[in-house]
Amino acid sequence: MTIDAFIDALPKVELHVHLVGSASVPTVLELSRRHPGSAVPTTEEELRDFYRFVDFPHFARVYRAINALVREPEDVATLVLGLARDLAPQGARYVELQVTPYAHHLVGMPMREVTEALDLAARRSLAEHGVELAYIFDIPGEYGEEAAKVTLEHALQEPPAALVGFGIGGIEQERPKYRDAYRSAFSAARAAGLHSVPHGGEMSGPETIWEVIDGYGAERIGHGINCLSDPRLVSHLRDTQLPLDVCPTSNLCTGQIARIEDHPLPRMLEEGLYVTLNSDDPPMFATTLAEEYRVAHRVFGFGKEELAQLARNGVRASYLGEGRKQELLAEIDALVGAG
């Protein structure tokens, strides 16, 4: 079996992908034509140019422009189903999709209607594409106490049936001024049984990773790539096997690394850290979940067993039921044995 065929066939889970950031060109074109007059192009060529990022602030501006197209519950469902359609041919079986309820709140969508759209889309994604969906509600970290309050209220009062986690994203450098509000929101979410899955150490240093560990009770961390400069943190992450959801192409496109060859993924694994491989905002970064596995092979020289181990890591770090985890792990082992 060729490496490309192996990657395509490898059962995968996607643990770090954002609802708005998952919108592929066909999905965005559907939305931009549904809502004409926005800042988002309505032709494929212009849209691909629109997606050529120079740094994280530029990415954030584009992300906000796409987000402004999501005005009705139907748009939310369109995004979810578009992601499932795009992931199914890549061998993806399960997705934990990060949703930002505050963005929908700002345009006046009622919580109940957003939740109904998410529930409907989850059912259709499984029925039509064979992709099982779970949701993580995340706070946009630069928006402060109101965003934390709205996100928590939605998670506790009107949660979708498949809600499993509570997170925070956005510009990490803005978080310290809202420290108490964010810690309080995570405490309440965890008390309600939601898993803590914050971003940390993507665009800031080890101090943010320590904060999500100590202040948010992180059970899994988005990115975490800047952990390596702190030996004590590396030792803690290795000893606890706290999973880090790594997204190499995203880090390149947002300027967190200068070259893909500079990505710390290989060293993180050499240090014995628990790493999963994900896509983050794939169409915006001209990547896919399967392409991230190809990058791991092409750039870092990972072979079939190393790629399979990353897939296993994702399954084990997910919030799937134990029986379903064992089924996927058995599928991965069978593919390795056949390949």
In order of 125, 282, 312, the CA distances from 87 in angstroms are 10, 10, 18
How does residue 304 score in pLDDT terms, banded at 50, 70 and 90?
very high
> Given this model, what pLDDT does residue 103 score?
93
For residue 211, the enclosing domain spans 3-338
E strands along the chain, which residues? 12-18, 92-99, 132-140, 163-169, 195-196, 199-200, 221-223, 244-246, 275-277
Active site residue 72: no
Per-residue pLDDT reduced to its tens digit, 126-171: 999 999 999 999 999 999 999 999 999 999 999 999 999 999 999 9
**CATH of residue 48:** 3.20.20.140
Specify the DSSP class assigned to residue 300: T
Specify the DSSP class assigned to residue 323: H
Percent of the chain beyond pLDDT 70? 99
84 Cβ contact partners less than 8 Å away, ≥ 6 residues apart: 95, 121, 124, 125, 128, 129, 131, 133
Q: Catalytic one among 202, 211, 291, 292?
A: 202
Per-residue pLDDT reduced to its tens digit, 171-182: 999 999 999 999
User: What's the pTM?
Assistant: 0.94
Instruction: Compute the average pLDDT of residues 274-280.
Output: 98
The CB density around residue 188, as the number of other CB atoms within 10 Å, is: 16
Number of domains making up the chain: 1
